[in-house]
A and B are shown apart, each in its own frame.
Chain A
Amino acid sequence: MTCILGIDVGGTFTDFVYHDPSEDKLIVWKTLSTPSDPGKGILDGLQNQQVGGVDYLRFGTTIATNAILERNGATVAFVTTLGFKDVPFIQRGKRQSHYDINWIKSKPLVKRRHCFEIDERITPREGVYKALDENQVRKVARAIGNDQEIEAIAICLLCSYVIPDHEIRVKEIFREEIPDKPISISYDLLPKWKEHERSSTTIADAYLKPLVSENLKRLGHKLSEAKDIKRVSVIKSNGGEVSLEAAKNCPIHLSLSGPTGGVIGARQLSNLINIDHMVTLDMGGTSTDVSTVVGRTESFTTSYEIEFGIPIQIPMIDIRTMGAGGGSIAWIDKGGMLQVGPQSAGAAPGPACYDRGGELPTVTDANVVLGRINPQFFLGGNMKLSVEKAKQAVKSIAEQLGETLENTANGIVKIANNNMVGATRLVLTEKGLDPRDFTMLAFGGAGPVHISDLMQLAGTPSGIVPNHPGQFSAFGFTMTDARVDLERTAPMTSRFFNFDYANRVLSDLVAECSEALVEQGYTEKIEVLKTLEMRYFGQNHELEISFYDNEFSENAISSVWDSFHEAHKKRYNFDIPNETIELISIKVTALALTPKPQIPIIAYSDKLPSPYEKRQVFFDSGIASASVYRREELPVGKIFTGPALIEEDASVTVVSPDMPVLIDKYGNIVLGKLAAEYKNKL
């Protein structure tokens, strides 16, 4: 019997999901967040609800994200190879957009006066080209030690991904000279070519270290005083959990912790209900996060920028955020075109219908005008919405467009949907995936409202609204595994493949990954996944090919080359037979599987779905009389069709006319093709 608590610390609310196996049920609650001391919100929440003991407490955090956004991290010293201290300032030389004369180039997280150079050089072709001068390293260390401003150190030497010896030695010398300042080195974080990306990532890690480790220390301390909690872990950007102690050493891995919960929840759901591919949409008030689950696993990336030109490249779940949500404001541009967002009315003043002083029409207002959101039952009836204010706001732009109120409101929703689908498509098509193979999982307060329109627009035949769509992220955090991703650049080609070297890198990585888990106390159920980053010799971007063998042998590698040609053909529609193939990096992931809550099964019922009322709702196809249901009153396994609204406390699921829908045995709302297919299974 394992009791698990998932916590999602958001900007406004902290959500809690607790699974108690003795009662086989999920308890869901929330408290106000306390941004100044994130731990307090968690402790408050623990006190607010009577739950039994906790074996696993897992939480997602925005401490690191906010420190970067608000730029309140540490003063960092950047240490690099002689001649290269301006790399973070030059960046890659690009402008954010082509025609913007107002653009101001982004500033790195380090000041130029805090950049230092070491007289050494390693090159990709020559190896150690200029040896390390340890006396000079000590001099630099002392200079940094004497600078009272500096709180953390980032070391990134050129080509350290080829030979890490200099970087590691510089770190040792710095440790001796200035033992009290935290040090981050690029080889630990991103042993991969491209000096700007590696430097920037290393600087960000150092920038976060003092603040994050202080916060986690305080929280760990408080939780150890609190009641019966056995194991506390925090969620990394790759969706894996990590002990508080290990997290302090590489805080950059927490930088996108918060939004991963929903995707982990989606992965778990895909395994539970046997759906291979999902696209997730977490739509809130100001933004929407889009991600994918492909072949029942999350999709990962290492490409992310905290702002234009300032990359952090760590393994993370590939989540794209768009500035489109319920609060996005509709407006008419100079040429008379209707536009939606990116400005948002946010939580204050909020949409016009909140009647808190907002007068501009938002997506939520449009949904109220269209009859999709029940003004009497918003947030479970805790907040009454003003239909009149919503209409007034939408009317102001309807007049400019010369359109009816309803057509305008419908246009607002359509444009918002189109913006979201654009990002959704890009997430899929960038990887060569076909939306028709996907099921859309929508959550967050606004996701269910838009799901059936988005399914049609994106071309995904089926959709799901999970239980507790408002707290789905915290639910996801109850489901995390421990995960370590490591990667090493090891360039070799199909013409010259060094088996000994490749096998050494592979076995080192496997050992390091497993050790990292063991150090955190995970000793059982460890799974190891291996992938190879490859390309045609001369290309500069790689495709990932899974490697299933335990070592590189003649046979194993020849099937790898074949898989690459096939994958290239599949992804880009062409291959170049007989071309030399280059292996760039070897990636290893170790997963320690952890206990997860069982999702309670709801018994089938003979009841028929019965709407509590009929309401006139405006759809793209015209006005229709929609049946309105309470979600908790819907029986399992009974198929019906839209137009319908399924209301619950946190949201409302809008089902467009003729779309099939049912509740599955776990309580999920299932829409479209999948619902029609369920019928056959019953």
Chain B
Amino acid sequence: MDMINMNIIESAMIAIAKEMGINVQKTAYSTIFSEAEDFTCALANRAGELIAVADFCPSQIGGVPLLVRSMLKEIPLSEIDEGDVIVHNDPYRGGLHTPEHTVFKPIFIDGEIAAFSVCVGHFVEVGGMAPGGFPGEATEIFHEGLRVPPVKIIKKGVDVPEVWKMMLANVRTPRGNYGDMRALISGVDLGEKRLQELVKKYGKDKFNTIVKDLLDYSERRMRAEISEFPDGVYRFIDRVEDDGIEDKEYEVHVAVHVQGDEVVIDYTGSSRQAKGPINATLGVAWSAAFNAMLHLTDQSIPKNSGCFRPIRVIAPAGTVMNVNYPGSEVGGNTETHPLIVAAIFGAMVECVPDRVMASEGTTHGCFVFGGHDDYTDEPFGGFDFSYVGYGGRAFADGNDATDSINGNCANTPMEVFETRFPWIVEEYALRPNSGGAGKFRGGLSNVKQMLCTGGMLVSQMTNKHKLGAWGLVGGEEGKTGATLFKKSGSDSWETAVEAYGKVSPSKYSNIPMQPGDRVRVSAPGGGGYGQASEREKSDVLMDVKEGYISKADAIKSYPVNGSDL
């Protein structure tokens, strides 16, 4: 193996993926791209293996290999021409959830496909029963938005107007979707151009050899990491509190079999698939397993299909971990994915206690809204993130107000948010006392209170309003989240169940909000790690001094008394 040129080609490919991402981010219309970076740019080889990816949105990274292979099943290599661009979002064809659109472009070298340039991005508006793509009460895929199987949106460099028209006619914000699609396409165009330059420099054969070696190298690194784990079977069960349709819990079972240099992650025993949209697709079940393993191992391992080879996933069909057609699934990618990762950490605390954390809030809040904006005289759709508390660790407190583990999305600044949408933000703050007590406490989550200034429909897909983030090694549970409404003229804050008769307080569709109504979205805090009694007293006092916990909570949870504070 040429370990010198491997380094050079790997970092050159990552730089290409980064550059693709910059193009996407700078030209996109939705704030979920341009501010939140909910997209991924990657390169794949002709077999569909991921060969390089830049750090944008993690939930999409593990999904890329399945996406490319599913696309190739329907459009074989022989039918792809230079200059084609293929778009796809179907969760039942390797996709992660309906809002996530993948755009592929073949990279030709000497008249032959050598690789693919790939951009995956989350479109806010995708049609379906509720504006904003997260109908918490969807019961089939058709409610969730327009399904797009792999189709060519550009043929040999020329737009295919039929496809563009069909897609834009089925969403509420065609102008924005058009801009976002152009942004993704500008990303894959750039990837094509840059990779061609790179391959030309080294020659196709040398490039292919080095890429093959690179995947083997990543595999070797991953195997070396796994073989340091003590062999055994490590189990954990976590629960999704409800599915938006029925008020009952769903179990996520995880058994991590560590044997030698391989790992099998088995979800057998998980609940049958839900009626509501909390189900994971197969792509999500894989992606979550990979995400957890990348957290447990050395983060300098190059991220490509090679490092996934020693990891097998068993996801029984017809369960919440691998939904059967035509079940609904939009929250599988946002809510169930981080819950699976947390459960794998929960299982692995016995195996590698220093490398895991207690449960984080495992949700992105996914508060969505849309309608017609009188201010701009245009239809609008928006997605708002919440930031959860992270779990305590064997060596440090959980981080405060951070995007859940399968995303890495930035907030939309309040000043941008209020410019774009008919909302006034009244409070954007940390939630003191929301982190679970422990030797290392859970992180605090955030709260956002908003006043509606224009009529709209709101929907939400979140979790942990009933079941808090669990602690580990004696650490306590983090505070649950809550979404509360206060109708114009009313004095009381009520849940969606109380105010609008919904089944679930955390998953619902199409609540009509009027000017003067308010909503207060609180995210769940993180779980603690270790016994609260072992926390350094000075840390407790500092938390009180800085207002991260109240005096009352400190006295209740930790061995301190009023005279200490």
Chain A residues proximal to chain B, CB less than 8 Å: 83-87, 89-95, 97-105, 111-113, 121, 123-126, 129, 158-159, 161, 193-197, 333-339, 401, 407, 411, 414-415, 418-419, 422, 425-426, 429-430, 491, 536, 538-541, 568, 572-574, 576
Q: How many A-B residue pairs have CB under 8 A?
A: 203
| Closest chain A residue to B376, Cβ basis | A537
Give Cα A195–Cα B425 distance, bound, in whole angstroms: 12
In contact, B426 and A425 (Cβ under 8 angstroms):
no
In contact, B413 and A101 (Cβ under 8 angstroms):
no
- In the complex, which residues of chain B have a beta carbon less than 8 angstroms from the beta carbon of A83? 425-429, 449
Give 7 A-B contacts (CB < 8 Å), ordered by A residue. Answer: A85-B429, A86-B430, A97-B299, A99-B294, A193-B415, A407-B4, A422-B11
In contact, A93 and B401 (Cβ under 8 angstroms):
yes
In contact, A101 and B182 (Cβ under 8 angstroms):
no
- In the complex, which residues of chain B have a beta carbon less than 8 angstroms from the beta carbon of A94? 37, 402-403, 408-410
In contact, B428 and A90 (Cβ under 8 angstroms):
yes
Q: Which of A111, A196, A337, A541 has the most CB of B within 10 A?
A: A337
- In the complex, which residues of chain B have a beta carbon less than 8 angstroms from the beta carbon of A337? 3, 6-7, 217
Distance of A545 from chain B, by nearest CB (Å): 15
In contact, A336 and B3 (Cβ under 8 angstroms):
yes
In contact, B399 and A93 (Cβ under 8 angstroms):
no
- In the complex, which residues of chain A have a beta carbon less than 8 angstroms from the beta carbon of B186? 572-574
Tell me, yes or no, whether B424 is within 8 Å of chain A by CB. Answer: yes
Tell me, yes or no, whether B514 is within 8 Å of chain A by CB. Answer: no
In contact, A90 and B449 (Cβ under 8 angstroms):
no
Q: Mark B39-52, 1 if CB is under 8 A from A, else 0.
A: 00000000000000
Give Cα A113–Cα B28 distance, bound, in whole angstroms: 38
- In the complex, which residues of chain A have a beta carbon less than 8 angstroms from the beta carbon of B298? 334
Given A86-B430, A193-B413, A418-B11, also A97-B190 (CB < 8 A) = no
| Closest chain B residue to A407, Cβ basis | B4
- In the complex, which residues of chain B have a beta carbon less than 8 angstroms from the beta carbon of A113? 545-547
In contact, B12 and A422 (Cβ under 8 angstroms):
yes
Give Cα A112–Cα B429 distance, bound, in whole angstroms: 12
Given A335-B217, A335-B224, also A99-B295 (CB < 8 A) = yes
Residues of B in contact with A, size category: 35 or more
Given A83-B427, A86-B430, A539-B179, also A194-B413 (CB < 8 A) = yes
Q: Which of A101, A197, A334, A418 has the most CB of B within 10 A?
A: A101
Q: Which of A94, A339, A574 has the most CB of B within 10 A?
A: A94
In contact, B414 and A158 (Cβ under 8 angstroms):
yes
Chain B residues proximal to chain A, CB less than 8 Å: 1, 3-4, 6-8, 11-12, 15, 18-19, 22-23, 25-29, 31, 34-35, 37, 55, 58, 61, 175-176, 178-179, 182, 185-186, 189-190, 217-218, 220-221, 224, 291, 294-296, 298-301, 355-357, 375, 385, 387, 393, 395-396, 399-403, 408-411, 413-416, 418-419, 422, 424-430, 446, 449, 453, 545-548
In contact, B396 and A540 (Cβ under 8 angstroms):
no
* A573 contact from B190, B395, B399, B453, Cβ within 8 A: B190
In contact, B4 and A411 (Cβ under 8 angstroms):
yes
Q: Which of A91, A98, A401 has the most CB of B within 10 A?
A: A98
Q: Which 8 A-B pairs have the closest CB atoms?
A: A540-B34, A83-B427, A411-B4, A92-B410, A538-B29, A541-B26, A335-B221, A194-B413
- In the complex, which residues of chain A have a beta carbon less than 8 angstroms from the beta carbon of B416? 193-194, 540
In contact, B7 and A101 (Cβ under 8 angstroms):
no
Give Cα A335–Cα B224 distance, bound, in whole angstroms: 8
| Closest chain B residue to A104, Cβ basis | B396
Given A95-B402, A105-B399, A124-B415, also A426-B15 (CB < 8 A) = yes
- In the complex, which residues of chain B have a beta carbon less than 8 angstroms from the beta carbon of A338? 3-4, 7
Distance of B145 from chain A, by nearest CB (Å): 20
Q: 17 more A-B contacts (CB under 8 A) besides A112-B548, A193-B419? A: A83-B429, A83-B449, A86-B430, A90-B411, A98-B299, A98-B408, A126-B453, A193-B413, A194-B416, A335-B301, A338-B3, A338-B4, A411-B4, A415-B4, A419-B11, A425-B15, A541-B25
In contact, A430 and B547 (Cβ under 8 angstroms):
no
